[in-house]
Each structure stands twice: as C-alpha cells, then as structure tokens.
Amino acid sequence: MDDDLKFIVDVASEYNPRFKKELVIKAYNFAKEAHKGQKRISGEDYFVHPVETAKILLELKADSYTLCAALLHDVIEETSVTKEEVVKMFGDEIAGLVEGLTHIEKIHFKNKEDYTAENLRKILLATSKDIRIILIRLSDRLHNMRTLKYLRPDQQKRIAQETLTIYAPIAYKLGLMKIKGDLEDLSLRFLKPEVYKKITERIKEKREAREKYAERVMEFLKEKLKEENIPAKVTGRAKYFYSIYRKMTKRNVPIDEIYDLIGIRIVTQTIPQCYAALGLVHKIWRPMPGKFKDYISVPKANGYQSLHTTVVTEDGRVLEVQIRTEEMDLIAEEGIAAHWRYTGRERDKRFDQKINWLKQLLYWKSSEDAKEFIETFKFDLFEKEIVVFTPKGDPISLPEESTPVDFAFEIHTNLGKQCSKAKVNGNIVPLNYILKSGDIVEIVTSNKAKPSRQWLTFVKTSKARQRIKQELGIESVRSSKLKEREAQGVLRNIIVESRRPAKLSKCCSPEYGDEIKAFLTKDGKVTIHKADCENIHTLEKKKEIGVRWRVIPKLDSTDIIVVVRDRVGMLSNILTVISKMGIHITSVKSEMRGGRFKLVIGLKTKEKSVVKQILDNLRVLKDVIDAKISDLP
C-alpha cells in the first residue's frame, strides 16, 4: 500500500466505521493503472490529481462510494476505460457518480462561451441529481485551482473567473465555508495578482502585533464570560484574503483598516447563552450601530446560524464578534459534512439531537445509511426545475415532470404543433414521457401531426397548455402577463389597490384572468371592468385605480402547520406519517420558539380527505402540539 492510499484508508476508517476499505483500495489501484504513463501539465503523474481530489473529500468526511468515484472520476474521460467496465468492477452507484461527473464536464465545456454564470450554475446543479457529484466536482476544482500556476496566463484567468462566479457560490450554498474561502482566495491570486500580493505581505508584516492584541482581548473576554457563568469557548478566526479584498473594494477603504479588524468567535452550548454572551459583549464594549445581525432567529438560506456584532474597544480597535452554539459552529464550518456522521450501524443519536434537524432534511441528500430516510425528499437546490438538452446541446429549463410536448412548445410553437414523436437519449419514447435532468430530447415532426386533447392531460408548462388550447379552439388568448401569472398559480380574488370594496361591473362581467381596469365612482365605490369594455369610454371621467388579480399558489398543494416539541426523531416520525400515505412533500419551513418547532409543510395534494387523514395521524403523535391546514395562501 503506498503512502497516499494508506492515508486515505486511515483517515476514512477513522471517521467512518463502515468504511468499505477493500472497495476503495480496488478503486485506487484500478485508477492508478488506468492513468499509468499520463502526465499533468505540471509534469506530475496524472494520478496525483484524482488522489488529491479524494483527499479533499476526506475533509468533507465523504462516504466510501464518493471516495471511489473521486479516484475514478477521470478514467472514462481520460483513459480507455469504458463505463461498462466501471459498472462491472464497481457497481451502478459508483459508475453513476463517475458518469454524472463526466457528463457535466462535457456540457460545461461545450457551451462555456454561450452561457452566463447563472446558467452554468443552474446546469451544474440540475445535472447533479446526487449531492455527492457536486462535492466531487468542487474538490476536483479546488485541486485544479491549487495547480493552476502551471497553465497559461489566459487559461488561469478564465478558470479563476469561472471558479469565482460558479463554484464558490455553490460551495457557499452548501455551507462549505472552507472550500468556498479557499476557492475565492485562489481565484483572487490569479485574477488580481498585485492585490493578492499586497494583502498577503501586509498580513505577514503585522501578524505578530495583531495576534498579541487578539490574545489579550480573548483572555479578557474569557474572564468576563466566566464571571457571568456563561460556559463558552473563545477563539480568534482566520480571515480569508478574498473577504478582505471584498471589504476593501466594497467600503473603499485601505487594507489596514480592514485587516486591523479582529475577528473573534464565541461558541456556547445553548441558544439562550448566545444571547447572554451578546449582552455581555455589548456591555463591555460599545456596539457599532447597524452592525448587529441575528442569523439565529433568521438563518441564512444555506442554513448558517450565528449572531454577528461589531464593537469598538476602549482603545479604538474594532472587533467583529460571532456568537453561536457548538452545533451551529459545526454546521457553519463543515456545511454538509456536518451531517455526514457515521457510527457503527446506526447514526449517532446524540449527534441527531445536536444538529438542527431540519437542516438535516434540506441538506442531506444521501449517504450510506440515510438513503431510505431521505428518499422521499428532494434536495433543496434541485427542486422545481429540470434542465434538458437539445440534440445540439443547448440547455432548456422546464418545470419538473415536463414531457417532450412541453419541451417542443418551449422551443417553438410550430415544433409543438407538429410534434409527432419524441426521442430521449436516442430512444423513441411516448409523448407523455417524464423528462429527467440531463436528458437529450429530440422532436420528430410531421405535417400531419396536430395537438390533441389528450396532451392537455399531461403537459406541465402553461405555454404548452395555452398553445394547445388555442389550437383546439378551447380558449381565447389572454394577455401574456396574465398567462404568466396563471402559470404561477390560480387567479381568483381581486385585490384593489385601495381599501374600498371591490365591485365587478355587470356590463362586461370580468372573469378571473381577464385584463381588467378599476375606477372610482362618484359615490366612492370601485367598479371593475374588462380592459376592453366599451362602456369605459362612455363613463364619466373617473379616477382610475390600480387593480390586479391576486395570485393564489398552485392549488395542487396544501400547506399544513405542525407545532411540535423538539425531540430526537420527531421530524423523522412526522415525515414517516406523511410518506406512508404516499404524499410527496414539496417544501418544509421551520421556526423555532423556545423548545418548540413550528413547521410549515407543503403537501403535494389538494384532496381534503387525504390532508385531513394526515392531520389526524399527526395529531396522535407524541409531542405534536398542533396540526392544522395553513390558511395563508
């Protein structure tokens, strides 16, 4: 066993008692053999790259399959090994991960000039159905960034820019703050070499004095916390170069002013202790107005929780203070990796208790032992939208469960109207086939083909629906704006932008979805007419007021509110009740008050009887305080 392999095996067996040693060794040797003789531009053996990628994944406590896929990630693309061989040697799951990576690479490079960063990010996420593919992708990119100096300067700039605009934000979204920070720092080094040099030199110069000062402040704070009986750890924190740079440019101040800021973190055991520590900090030092942020009661979208404040010490130094609990700290530092815990056959119950259990749902797509639990849910990032490709490789975004007919109408009305057959990844499929992200879709047209009523039963996009109805003569065209709104939900009630009662005119009887205008009458009432009502012009000059249809969220889902006492396994119990009834969950939001969680769960059903049954089943669960239908639209 060579040193690298030994390192991987040692570290992984340390954090994962179920580590599949034999399998990883096999993948290591297989990839090593496959890449034999290949060199990187740096002159190193090519195999160094997959090995380093796997090592970065060790820091994320990746599971065995992820490590195997990282080691194998370039064998299909760069060597003569075929996917079939990988399947045969390592099974479908690993081959799936490897192939997922290869796939992104292809699309990614083929279209790089044509698409914006936002698009690329979307494609990258949508084609990575498995969170592990993204983790490997990020690790792969991080190693490539670390060896970027061997490439030509123009390549360096392009790749660094791509890293900054595409990969770092994804890492941030997943809460992988360390990877995000490293990617940004390396990007800065190649995009702004002068600035990077200046910042690093300055930091070196002042490091000692600064560290001494920080030490003193921390000691003082520790004493005070002890006096107040607040158990807490106080640490300094490293600043990323890129974050210094961003602050410099954002506030337009010289580097010293930014670098002189001292970052301190207080890690407590409970949330009340966080607020107590905050009170103490504000008592000792003067808080800077407008700098306090409470990400504990309102977490960031990636799950980050912490209190932030900035204070000024008696000698005029500025301190940035973060206050959070241990579990928040773990999640802030490790992101998704914080949820990847392995203990014997079962997940560590104590750890379950510690982590914010909702985030577990949102962030934990899969791991060897959590798969079943999580299968019914969709990873936050992938919800609602899929990205498929034209035979030329152009990405087309569609709602989930879209069909080839939706795809055809999305591209062009005529393509939709003449659609007779569809091919997905080269195979003929029925027109109601459910497309998946990454599918390559080809529409076969025929002059004789025309839309049928049948299509209305399966199309997903409002565009396709409207066009089909038009062709069938079912409905007249509505204004495009309203169509758009209709796509978002059902237009039902009227909201008039004044507080007076809203009254529909009898002359033209507007129906929901019609373009409408509202007028204030002499006696102070509001009448609403169709925009093209002839009577509008014959009416006396009256004051027109704003009016719009209220958008009610899609009626095919129902939000329920469940209030529970927090305990281990609570969430899992609730989700089991729902999934046992075969109902999909479309969203979960939570609020924590004291020891209580208020969950708002979106159910993909509008069947009242089903919802009622779910509520009844939830109410009998231990520690469920209340379960009801949300009356908010």
In the complex, which residues of this chain contact Mn ion (CB under 5 A)?
140
Name the nearest CA neighbour of 336 among 297, 372, 367.
367
**Nearest distance from residue 47's CB to Mn ion, in Å?**
11
For Mn ion, the closer of residues 149 and 384 by Cβ is 149
Residue 554: CB partners within 8 Å, gap ≥ 6? Answer: 488, 489, 490
For Mn ion, the closer of residues 40 and 157 by Cβ is 40
**Nearest distance from residue 393's CB to Mn ion, in Å?**
21
Find the distance separating the first CA and the last CA of the chain, reported in whole Å.
61
Give the C-alpha separation, 408 to 424, whole Å: 12
For Mn ion, the closer of residues 124 and 464 by Cβ is 124
**Nearest distance from residue 72's CB to Mn ion, in Å?**
11
Give the C-alpha separation, 323 to 132, whole Å: 30
Task: State how far Cα 25 lies from the chain centre.
Answer: 33
For Mn ion, the closer of residues 56 and 599 by Cβ is 56
Which token pair is 172? 């941030």
* Pairing outcome for strands 286-287 and 427-429: unpaired
Name the nearest CA neighbour of 319 among 281, 362, 352.
281
User: Over the Cα atoms of the chain, what is R_g?
Assistant: 29
**Nearest distance from residue 74's CB to Mn ion, in Å?**
5
3-class state of residue 390 by DSSP: coil
**Nearest distance from residue 76's CB to Mn ion, in Å?**
11
DSSP letters along 498-518, please? SSSPEEE-TTT---TTS-EEE
For Mn ion, the closer of residues 30 and 377 by Cβ is 30
Give the C-alpha separation, 463 to 460, whole Å: 9
Q: Per residue, what are the HEC states of 576-617?
A: HHHHHCCCCEEEEEEEEECCEEEEEEEECCCCHHHHHHHHHH
Dihedral sign, CA of 538, 542, 546, 552? negative
For Mn ion, the closer of residues 139 and 356 by Cβ is 139
**Nearest distance from residue 366's CB to Mn ion, in Å?**
22
Angle made by CA atoms 63, 59, 163, in degrees to the nearest 5: 105
Give the C-alpha separation, 341 to 64, whole Å: 13
**Nearest distance from residue 140's CB to Mn ion, in Å?**
4
For Mn ion, the closer of residues 104 and 560 by Cβ is 104
Neighbour-count burial for 389-418, b at 16+ CB within 10 Å, e otherwise = beeeeebbbbeeebbbbbbbbbeebeebbb
Contact 583, 560 (CB under 8 A): no
Give the C-alpha separation, 489 to 479, whole Å: 15
Task: State how far Cα 67 lies from the chain centre.
Answer: 23
Which token pair is 53? 């990628």
Give the C-alpha separation, 516 to 545, whole Å: 11
**What 8-state DSSP symbol labels residue 261?**
-
For Mn ion, the closer of residues 130 and 140 by Cβ is 140
Name the nearest CA neighbour of 101 among 61, 156, 141.
141
For Mn ion, the closer of residues 140 and 329 by Cβ is 140
**Nearest distance from residue 171's CB to Mn ion, in Å?**
16
For Mn ion, the closer of residues 140 and 406 by Cβ is 140
Give the C-alpha separation, 285 to 321, whole Å: 11
Count the Cβ atoms, other than its own, within 10 Å of residue 244. 21
**Nearest distance from residue 75's CB to Mn ion, in Å?**
11
**Nearest distance from residue 146's CB to Mn ion, in Å?**
12
For Mn ion, the closer of residues 137 and 463 by Cβ is 137
For Mn ion, the closer of residues 140 and 327 by Cβ is 140
Residue 594: CB partners within 8 Å, gap ≥ 6? Answer: none
For Mn ion, the closer of residues 63 and 140 by Cβ is 140
Q: Helix, strand, coil: what percent of the chain each, to 5?
A: 50, 20, 30
For Mn ion, the closer of residues 99 and 140 by Cβ is 140
For Mn ion, the closer of residues 140 and 410 by Cβ is 140
User: What number of residues does the chain have?
Assistant: 633
**Nearest distance from residue 101's CB to Mn ion, in Å?**
8
Contact 307, 294 (CB under 8 A): yes
Contact 492, 550 (CB under 8 A): yes
**Nearest distance from residue 106's CB to Mn ion, in Å?**
13
Name the nearest CA neighbour of 105 among 131, 136, 132.
136
**Nearest distance from residue 45's CB to Mn ion, in Å?**
14
Tell me the residue nearest to Mn ion as measured from the CB: 140
For Mn ion, the closer of residues 106 and 412 by Cβ is 106
* Pairing outcome for strands 385-389 and 307-312: unpaired
**Nearest distance from residue 69's CB to Mn ion, in Å?**
11
**Nearest distance from residue 136's CB to Mn ion, in Å?**
9
**Nearest distance from residue 173's CB to Mn ion, in Å?**
21
